[in-house]
Structure 1
Amino acid sequence: MKTGIPAWACSTARRNALSTPSQKPECSATKTSISCVIITQEVREMKKFLVLLLCLFFLFPSYALLAEEEPSLSVVGRGSVMVEPDTAKIQLGVEVLKKTAAEAQAANAWIMKNIISALKKQGVASDKIQTSGYSLFPEMKYEPNRAPEMVGYRCRNQVSVILEDLNQVGKMIDAGISSGANQVQGVQFFRRNDIPFKKLALEKAVKDAAEKAAAIASAAGIKIKKVKRIIEEGAAAAPLENLPVVRAMAGVAETPISFGLLEISVQVTVIYQVE
């Protein structure tokens, strides 16, 4: 009896060996070296970029400091123009106190309706009358060592009236008070088209700044080279305000109003480069 590997097993092993493709070993050392080269190049590029950023970071502030350190002189100039007003705005108000909110609202509305009607009868157009304030709130009574007590509701209503005839200001105030107004919040005078006067005031302000700068430069022994910047700080007018209501309620036939002149003022800041 023979022992050994069967013939069919040998043939099967031979077929598998022929059919299985040969595999070559990978060169891990070669791949590692290529990866190291790529990473090294990236690190070098990153270093160059960081160096460039640092240069820019330190370079630009230096130029900014040099620009700021240039000698300069800052001067404030003011200019004003006196002009006659041609428009007035008066504010008439009604304030009532009633037990309930509905009663306060109704009483206030009735009085204000009479005021507006009286103004229109005096020739004021509807588009010149505008509600400027309205409020309705509980009125509280406060006493020491006692809880607050509500005594009623207070209702306030104000209207603004624009008048282009200044001679009618006192007459309209009297008409409003005669119709039930118990507040005059204020009287303002202004010029409808004040742009030409603001320009004139602006020219005066710049000239004032130039004269001041010249005086300072002469005293300090420096020379003005040029204007670096001019900053306009706005214009303002000085109207008559807060006319007391006492004069109209004291029985005077017509409240005297003196509108005088308006002062339109402008302020500028001029920065000069000097040496």
Structure 2
Amino acid sequence: MKMSNRIKHWVFGAVLSVSSIALQAQTLDFPHINTTGYGEVLAEPDMAEFSVQVVMVQESAEQAKQQADKAVDDFLQQLQAFGLPREDIKSGNIQLLPQMHYPKNAKPEQKGYRAVRKVKVTIDNLEMLPKLMDIALKSGVNRIDRVQLGVKDPSKYQAIARSEAIKDAKLKAKSVAEGFDKTLDEVWQVNYQSAQARPMLSRSMAMDSSERANSYQDTTIVIKDRVEVIYKLK
């Protein structure tokens, strides 16, 4: 059964009216001030996680796999000989893919196989990081994907940043209220979503060991937080 244009318009108008009523119900009908507080804390990193890859290309899949496995096994052995616990080392399964060549104005053709294995390492001593990088490269690792610095107890720093954000919101609200000759009343609403620490990433792998060590130790992690507060005004 078809609906006439007149009925369609009435239904659409009713939906708009309901939406408007719902919106009005959410409108604050008392004097208030809405403020957002920000807080941040600087933390020195005390742990790191880095990911590396071994990528080998050979004519046969078996040759590529053997070379990738050998490089990873050598790397794992040296890590454990260096004193790193096995639970802090995670090695992924091997990936075997056809190595394709795409000549200009010609059909793609396969040129052997590519074997890829990934290893992720977590350490709690940043002084070890440059040495482990050197060990990785000497073992046959040919790609360093990422070096991410962090802190062992981020919740401790997050609590400090949160406290600073709350103080900031209070000070802003009081200052603005006094500027309009008003006085703050009770808190009516608080909106809060915990933020995440955003560690800086190391950028250069071309430095020597001593330079890399200094760059890691000089890195600072900024942990931020924010809180939105609505105060009633007297």
Shorter chain as normaliser: what TM range? 0.7 to 0.9
One-letter code aligned to 2:83: G
In 1, Cα distance between the equivalents of 2:62 and 2:182?
74
**Correspondence for 2:217 among 241, 252, 259:** 259
TM-score (norm 2): 0.78
- State the match for 2:204 in structure 1: 244
Deviation track 1:190-236 (CA, whole Å, cap 9, x = no partner) reads: 11112222111101001111222233334455543322222223233
TM-score (norm 1): 0.68
State how many pairs are aligned: 213
**Correspondence for 2:119 among 138, 144, 159:** 159
Measured after TM superposition, the shift of residue 253 of structure 1 is 5.7
Measured after TM superposition, the shift of residue 67 of structure 1 is 4.8
Contact 2:90/2:120 (8 A) holds in 1: yes
- State the match for 1:269 in structure 2: 228
- State the match for 2:95 in structure 1: 135
Deviation track 1:46-72 (CA, whole Å, cap 9, x = no partner) reads: xxxxxxxxxxxx99x869734524254
CA, structure 1 residues 63+155, in 2 after alignment: closer, same or farther (shift >3 Å)? closer
Measured after TM superposition, the shift of residue 157 of structure 1 is 1.7
Q: In the alignment, is residue 200 of structure 1 matched against residue 156 of structure 2?
A: no
- Determine helix, strand or coil for the equivalent of 1:259: helix
In 2, Cα distance between the equivalents of 1:219 and 1:232?
26
CA, structure 1 residues 270+135, in 2 after alignment: closer, same or farther (shift >3 Å)? farther
- State the match for 2:27 in structure 1: 68
- Determine helix, strand or coil for the equivalent of 2:69: helix
One-letter code aligned to 1:268: V
- State the match for 1:177 in structure 2: 137
- State the match for 1:91 in structure 2: 51
- State the match for 2:107 in structure 1: 147
**Higher relative contact order (Cα pairs below 8 Å, separated by 6+ residues):** 2
Contact 2:130/2:209 (8 A) holds in 1: no
In 2, Cα distance between the equivalents of 1:66 and 1:97?
66
Q: In the alignment, is residue 112 of structure 1 matched against residue 72 of structure 2?
A: yes
In 2, Cα distance between the equivalents of 1:143 and 1:64?
61
Deviation track 1:155-182 (CA, whole Å, cap 9, x = no partner) reads: 2222111111211111111111111111
- Determine helix, strand or coil for the equivalent of 1:245: coil
Contact 1:185/1:242 (8 A) holds in 2: no
In 1, Cα distance between the equivalents of 2:124 and 2:34?
42
Structure 1: tracts of 5 or more residues without a match: 1-57
**Correspondence for 1:231 among 180, 191, 203:** 191
CA, structure 1 residues 167+242, in 2 after alignment: closer, same or farther (shift >3 Å)? closer
Identity %: 23
Structure 2: tracts of 5 or more residues without a match: 1-16
Give the root-mean-square deviation of aligned CA atoms. Answer: 2.7
In 2, Cα distance between the equivalents of 1:222 and 1:133?
65
One-letter code aligned to 1:271: I
Contact 2:34/2:229 (8 A) holds in 1: yes
Measured after TM superposition, the shift of residue 254 of structure 1 is 5.4
Contact 1:141/1:149 (8 A) holds in 2: yes
In 1, Cα distance between the equivalents of 2:159 and 2:111?
55
